[in-house]
Amino acid sequence: MNYNWNWGIFFESSPEGTGTYADMLLSGLAWTIVTALCSWVIAFLLGSLIGVLRTLPNRAANAVGTTYVELFRNIPLLVQMFLWYFVLPEVLPESWGSWLKQLPNAPFYTAVVCLGFFTASRVAEQVRAGIQSLPRGQKMAGTALGLTVAQTYRHVLLPNAYRIILPPLTSEFLNNLKNTSVALTIGLLELTARARAMQEFSFQVFEAFTAATVLYVLINIVVIFISSWIERRVAIPGNR
Partner 1 sequence: MSAPLNTSTAPTASTGPMIALSNVSKWYGDFKVLTNCTTAVNKGEVVVVCGPSGSGKSTLIKCVNALEPFQEGQIVVDGTPVRDKRTNLPKLRARVGMVFQHFELFPHLSIADNLTLAQTMVLGRNKDAALSTGMALLDRVGLSAHAKKFPGQLSGGQQQRVAIARALAMNPIVMLFDEPTSALDPEMVGEVLDVMVQLAREGMTMMCVTHEMGFARKVANRVIFMDKGEIVEDATKDDFFGHARSERAQNFLSKILQH
Partner 2 sequence: MLANFDFSVITGSLSYLFLDGMRFTLTLTALAAIGGIALGTLIAMMRLSGLPVIPLVAKTYVNLFRSLPLVLVIFWFYFLVPYLGQWVTGADRPMTVGAFTSSLVTFTLFEAAYFSEIMRAGIQSIPKGQAAAAQALGMTYWTSMRTVILPQVFRNMTPILLTQTIVLFQDTSLVYVLSITDFLGAASKVAQRDGRLVEMYLFAAVVYFAVCFVASLAVRRLQKKIAIIR
Interface positions with partner 2 (CB under 8 A): 1-3, 70-71, 73-80, 82-83, 86-87, 90-91, 94, 174, 178-182, 184-185, 192, 195-196, 199, 205-206, 209, 212-213, 216-217, 219-220
Minimum distance of partner 1 from residue 142's CB (angstroms) = 8
Q: Give contact residues for partner 1 (rule: CB under 8 A).
A: 135, 137-138, 140-148, 151, 155-156, 159-160, 163, 236-240
Nearer to partner 2, 138 or 171 (CB): 171
Whole-number Å distance between alpha carbons of 67 and 135: 26
Whole-number Å distance between alpha carbons of 139 and 158: 11
Minimum distance of partner 1 from residue 236's CB (angstroms) = 5
Whole-number Å distance between alpha carbons of 169 and 127: 9
- The secondary structure element, H or E, covering residue 93 is none
Residue 1: name its binding partner from partner 2, partner 1, none (Cβ under 5 to 8 Å by kind). partner 2
Nearer to partner 1, 28 or 142 (CB): 142
Angle subtended at Cα 218 by Cα 207 and Cα 2, rounded to the nearest 5 degrees: 20
Residue 49: name its binding partner from partner 2, partner 1, none (Cβ under 5 to 8 Å by kind). none
Minimum distance of partner 2 from residue 97's CB (angstroms) = 9
Nearer to partner 2, 163 or 178 (CB): 178
| CB distance 13 to 1 below 8 Å | no
Cβ contacts of residue 186 below 8 Å, gap of 6+?
A: 81, 82, 85, 107, 110, 111
Nearer to partner 1, 20 or 138 (CB): 138
Residue 17: name its binding partner from partner 1, partner 2, none (Cβ under 5 to 8 Å by kind). none
Nearer to partner 2, 50 or 158 (CB): 50
Minimum distance of partner 2 from residue 238's CB (angstroms) = 27
| CB distance 25 to 195 below 8 Å | yes
Residue 145: name its binding partner from partner 2, partner 1, none (Cβ under 5 to 8 Å by kind). partner 1
Q: Is the dihedral of CA 18, 24, 26, 29 positive or negative?
A: positive
Residue 86: name its binding partner from partner 2, partner 1, none (Cβ under 5 to 8 Å by kind). partner 2
Whole-number Å distance between alpha carbons of 119 and 113: 10
| CB distance 208 to 28 below 8 Å | no
Q: Give the Å distances, CA to CA, from 145 to 154, 156, 213.
A: 14, 12, 53
